[in-house]
Amino acid sequence: MFKALYSRLKQGYRTMPFPPKNDVLSKRFAGLPCVVSEKCKEDCAKCKAVCPTDAISGNGKDISIDLGKCLFCTECQRACPTGTINFSREYRMAVRDRNDLLIRDTLNRYEKTLKKEIKNIFGRSLKLRQVSAGGCNACELDINVLNTLSFDLGRFGIQFVASPRHADGIVVTGPVTKNMFLALEKTYNAVPSPKLVIAVGACAISGGPYIDHTETYNGVSSILPVDLYIPGCPPHPLTILDGFLKIMKAM
């Protein structure tokens, strides 16, 4: 008993503020890519040659990266001879509209104030049910991490519930395998309307590394209407948390 109390003192208070006050991300963290299209050479396709998921399209001023497909492996940044593509350390990447995942040029779209969002969420709550549909368990683990005391998801009024009947929406990870199709559909149908669908990770948005495999569908949007896209492979817990807060503002 005393040992447990002493240990509580020793472990300290570990819940981080959100948005984080200090720079908690690794210096090598690859977040939102920035594209400087004027640097891009028309006749060069080196980035496309190395991109594992064909996330890059267009040339010159039309070049764009599809964050829904991007695995954030940064191979394109390494291959680009002109410095057109640079991965920033911006973790806020979740969007409501699939088209907003196409990154075309240097835009600070994500610099919009988040403080307002935080204010808006007080007094609200969001109950979610998670469905893993072919994911590699990395997205699942980094969603789970939000329940640890470091992130303390409960303080934002968000809770993962055990039954779809108790949920306001589902969080889907994985490309949706053929074998999970029925279970996903049943879970979605069991959630009372109106309901949300949140796609977390490259797999759930586009199929990710498994794009066009016969064993999978290309993400959840081919089956269900998606309300929020959280890109990454896997997305950082802060990216996921930011996305959840975004959708609460929208509700």
Partner 1 sequence: MAGSILNIRNSQAKPLSEIPSLPFEKFCDFVIAQIREGARVVSFFGTPKTNATFMLTMVLAYDNDGQLGIVSTSVKDTYPSLTPQLPQVHWFEREIFEQWQVRPDGHPWLKPIRFHNPCTENSLGNSSQDILPSVTDFMKVHGQEPHEVAVGPVHAGIIEPGHFRFQCHGEHVFHLEISLGYQHRGIERALAAGSGKRTIHYMETSAGDTTIGHALAYCQAMEGLSDCAVPLRASAIRGIMLELERLANHTGDLGALANDVGYLPTSSYCGRLRGDFLNMTALICGNRFGRNIVRPGGVMFDLDDSLITELQNRLDKIFNDVKNAVSLLWSSSFVVDRFDETGIVTKKTALDLGLVGPAARACGIERDVRFDFPTGIYQFSHIPLSTYSSGDVFARAYVRWLEIQRSTEFIRDQLKNLPDSAVMAAMPPLKKQSMVVSLIEGWRGEICHAITTDINGNISQYKITDPSFHNWIGLAMALRGEDISDFPLCNKSFNLSYCGHDL
Sign of the C-alpha dihedral computed for residues 65, 71, 72 and 74 taken in this order: negative
Question: DSSP readout, 189-241?
Answer: HHSPSS-EEEEEHHHHHH-GGGTT-TTB-SSGGGTS--SEEE-SSSPPHHHHH
Q: Are 88 and 96 in contact (CB under 8 A)?
A: no
Does position 169 interact with partner 1 (CB under 8 A)? The reply is no
Q: Which two tokens stand for residue 238?
A: 């802060």
State the minimum distance, in angstroms, from the CB of residue 158 to partner 1.
Answer: 13
State the minimum distance, in angstroms, from the CB of residue 44 to partner 1.
Answer: 17
Does position 159 interact with partner 1 (CB under 8 A)? The reply is no
**Cα–Cα distance measured from residue 42 to residue 44, given in angstroms and rounded to the nearest whole number:** 6
**Cα–Cα distance measured from residue 21 to residue 166, given in angstroms and rounded to the nearest whole number:** 34
Question: Toward partner 1, which CB reaches closer, 108 or 137?
Answer: 137
Does position 29 interact with partner 1 (CB under 8 A)? The reply is yes
Residue from 67, 69, 142, 226 that binds partner 1 (CB under 8 A)?
Answer: 142
Does position 187 interact with partner 1 (CB under 8 A)? The reply is yes
Where on the chain is the footprint of partner 1 (CB under 8 A)?
Answer: 3-4, 7-8, 10-11, 14, 25-30, 50-53, 71-75, 130-145, 147-150, 160, 162-164, 174-175, 177-180, 182-183, 186-187, 208-210, 213-216, 233-234, 236
